[in-house]
Amino acid sequence: MSTTTLPRRRKLDVHAYHRMAEVGIFGADERVELIDGEIVEMVPIGSEHGGLTSRLARRFVLAVGDRAVVNTTSPLRVDDRSEPQPDLMLLRPRGDDYMRSHPRPADVLLLVEVANASLDYDRTVKAPLYARAGVAELWIVDLRSRAVEVATAPGAAGFAAQERVSRGAVSPRALPDVSIDLATLFAA
């Protein structure tokens, strides 16, 4: 009787990932993130994606003032094996504005992923990761359908509450007085 030994994958932790970046393994323009111990190449940001992210960030900055930190395309330290780079986060204010360390899931009031080509990946890989980590609220902005998928009530099995909003406005649960009108958000 013969036995076969399959090769084992070696998963990275956040420290090894950071060290790889420090020594220049990743190119200056290379967009990668660490998901469950694996380095994942991010989908390039198109004009519509970039513009909508900027528009949303501007609206949030004006609406939240000092009640939250508006953070775009920066890492979120989920755990020792995952450090994704969401498109936008509203974070709890912190004296150092997150210069000493990346935010953690408990710091996130709202996390936003803007999706066109990455829609399936954001739904099937990143959303469950965020839910397991306890991110309170996730919006996936679906550029194709001009809608926002709102997910709340995170848990080990994913987000328990989900709704799709294609008209009217959406507001983060943590800042209900902040309203994002979808007609103006998606206006060309």
All structural domains of the chain, each given as residue ranges with its CATH number in brackets, are: 45-185 (3.90.1570.10)
Q: Which is more confidently placed, 133 or 1? A: 133
* pLDDT of amino acid 3: 72
Quick one: which of 12, 14, 39 has its CA closest to 26?
A: 39
* pLDDT of amino acid 159: 98
Is-contact 130 166, C-beta < 8 A?
no
Residue position matching structure tokens 């990761």: 129
CA distance 32 to 29: 10
Specify the amino acid at residue 155. Answer: G
pLDDT tens track for 152-181: 999 999 999 999 999 999 999 999 999 999
